[in-house]
Amino acid sequence: RRPMLGSEYEQVGIFLKTVAFAAAPTFLKEVLEYDGTNLAFQTAAPRGLQSGDRSTWLALFQNVSGFFLHPVGLEVLVDHSSLDVSQWAVSRVFYNGQYHRDMAELESTYVQGRLRVEKVQKVPWDGDFSSMKPRAAPAAMFPVQYEPQGPRYSVRRNRVVSQAWSFVFGMSVSRGLRLFDVRYRGERIAYEISVQEALSVYGSNCPGGMSTRYMDGSFGIGRFSSPLVRGVDCPYSATYVDMPHLAQSQASRIVQNALCVFEQNLGSPLRRHYSNLQSLYYGGLVNSALVVRSITALGNYDYVWDFIFYQNGAIEGKVQATGYIDDAIQATGYMSSSFLHGDGLRYGNRVWEHTLGTIHTHSINYKVDLDVGGVQNSLVAHDMAFETARAPWSPEQQMERPRLTRKVLDTEDQAAFRQQSKMPRYIYFAANGTNKWGHQRGYRIQLNSFAGEPMPESSSMERAISWARYKLAVTKRKEEEPTSTSVYNQNDPWTPTVAFADFIDNETIAKEDLVAWITTGFLHIPHSEDLPNTVTVGNSVGFLLRPYNYHDLDPSIYSRDGVFFTSEQDVTSCAVNPVACLPERAACLPRFPPFTYGGF
């Protein structure tokens, strides 16, 4: 069940070229025009069908830029379970909808003229339609943002401090970006907010695709953090942080610009009101937010991970998906698009001549360890129901009115909400203490998700990803339950090292130290506009943590960015309206540092 190391991938590649390919020289030369270098392979996972297996489907692609979109129709199943490489063997071969015992049988069938051949047109090295090179010349510069008086936050080592927020960040090799000791105006809101896992489940009529359930933590969400490009991946003037990691080596590796921190003007008001009744005034607050971001380049798929901190005390966890269609890792060899054949359109859309964009789901799991007014919290649900009542001033008439419903969820079973189940629209961690108005201080959990169907629980591997059953599950915090999954679950999901479903055992969670496990995600049915790349627009999911009676009033009213003026004031005066000073304070162009990139 161990994850594959780079050395094992290299050995598999050598076996494919020197042993497997050697058994079918005529087929490879005449059908695939193989010259020893023009084919690339990617691998499916998990590696087999039951515990103890270590057999991997290898799909072949044209070795060009964006090769993920250029399948050639050949897939090879290699049994590499033995620690003795000489014992490795080809277990099965698939080509253009037909299965063969091994490469020798494929060769024989082809030579005898009994093989259905579908020759794929060779593409140039730049990948042709898969190239990321812009099809238009540069023109007027795109808009940029900058701080007229410099950053209003500081980054010292791994601690970020702004006007209202402070937190410590880290990067797990397997799980990626994580935050600790998150405080708003000095008061702790969360002990930990972290990414746990990213799961993709595929459909296809090709063997590699149909058997693929990628658990990205096994490959390394943090390990594959991408060097960020200034001005594109993050604002040009953001603060960039190098991050070290130790994986598959005796020496650590530094990823340059692996993380960025910036304050962003979202271009809309956080709140505002214009009054032309009774009194004449305007009051508003620009919606500027503090953002910490990393981007994972898991082969052909890129995940943009954000944690966003708003001036009203809200926190947003967000992930955006982009990159080439389907979920893939180049260095470790994920599966990407499938070869279109037979009834392939049952499993996706045709996006090029021989390329099927296969249907798949993305599920993202987060750990949110909130400490609302201390570590002793309860989980409370508020919602609405309509009631029928007689109009007090006209009893012969009846009316329907919404009323507030309240319920304390005091066991783990009550606090576990399956993906397709109804969940209270307001659900929050409640403190022991109350605000000025006698309400329990709380932080509400609000989800943004359009997840696909979860894996059926009848599946033999479902327990390994049982966290994906739930859009929200709240459990009692335990040191022996630090993460929802394990890196060992990928290659042996049939006997999982960690089964999240076991965390939920109906323990009492009233007035306890609680953890929320949040699963958000989306269904991806690739389409022609996903070529050459999937865009982030519409492919963003996540959650919000929002104060709910935590304060006595909206704390953003104390922000120094507020604007207020009346009809009787001089709105062009800086003393009245700080926005009026902008032409003077932002009259000069910002001093941007020179562009550098060390990603290669």
Query: Could you tell me if residue 390 is inside a domain?
Result: no
Query: Could you tell me if residue 298 is inside a domain?
Result: yes
Range of the domain at 66: 6-130
Number of structural domains in the chain: 2
Average the pLDDT over 399-414 and give the result: 97
What's 43's domain CATH number?
Answer: 3.10.450.40
**Smallest Cα–Cα separation from 92: which of 67, 68, 74?**
74
pLDDT tens-place string over residues 296-342: 998 788 999 999 999 999 999 999 999 887 533 333 334 456 677 88
Does 302 lie in the same domain as 246? yes
Does 225 lie in the same domain as 118? no
Which range has the top average pLDDT, 111-120, 458-467, 572-581? 458-467
Residue 333 is predicted with a pLDDT of 39
pLDDT tens-place string over residues 197-248: 999 999 999 999 899 999 999 999 999 999 999 999 999 999 999 999 898 8
pLDDT band at residue 24 using 50, 70 and 90 as cut-offs: very high
Does 240 lie in the same domain as 312? yes
Q: Which amino acid is at 188?
A: R
Among 127-136, 170-179, 229-238, 533-542, the range scoring the smallest mean pLDDT is 127-136
What's 311's domain CATH number?
Answer: 2.70.98.20
Does 474 lie in the same domain as 365? yes
Which residue carries 């750990």 as its tokens? 367
* Bridge partners of residue 302, in order along the sequence: 297, 322
Does 365 lie in the same domain as 313? yes
Residue 349 is predicted with a pLDDT of 87
Does 166 lie in the same domain as 86? no
Residue 76 is predicted with a pLDDT of 97
pLDDT band at residue 22 using 50, 70 and 90 as cut-offs: very high
Which residue carries 């933590």 as its tokens? 217
Question: Residue 399: pLDDT above 60?
Answer: yes
Query: Could you tell me if residue 283 is inside a domain?
Result: no
Residue 573: left if φ>0, alpha if ψ -120 to 50, beta else—which one? beta
The percent of residues above 70 in pLDDT, for the chain, comes to: 98
Residue 331 is predicted with a pLDDT of 32
Residue 335 is predicted with a pLDDT of 44
Residue 36 has which token pair?
Answer: 């020893």
Query: Could you tell me if residue 143 is inside a domain?
Result: no
Does 122 lie in the same domain as 160? no
Does 544 lie in the same domain as 451? yes
pTM for the complete prediction? Answer: 0.94
Does 367 lie in the same domain as 500? yes
pLDDT band at residue 587 using 50, 70 and 90 as cut-offs: low
Does 185 lie in the same domain as 107? no
Query: Could you tell me if residue 84 is inside a domain?
Result: yes
Last residue of a domain, one of 526, 542, 557: 557
Which contiguous run of DSSP H or E holds residue 289? strand 279-298
Among 145-159, 178-192, 401-415, the range scoring the smallest mean pLDDT is 145-159
Q: What is the mean pLDDT of the chain?
A: 93
Average the pLDDT over 15-41 and give the result: 95
Does 165 lie in the same domain as 124? no
Residue 332 is predicted with a pLDDT of 36
Residues serving a catalytic function are 216, 301
Residue 326 is predicted with a pLDDT of 57
Question: Residue 477: pLDDT above 70?
Answer: yes
Residue 334 is predicted with a pLDDT of 44
List, as one string, the DSSP characters of 69-114. G-EEEEEEEEE--SSSGGG-EEEEEEETTEEESSHHHHHHHHHTT-
Residue 354 is predicted with a pLDDT of 84
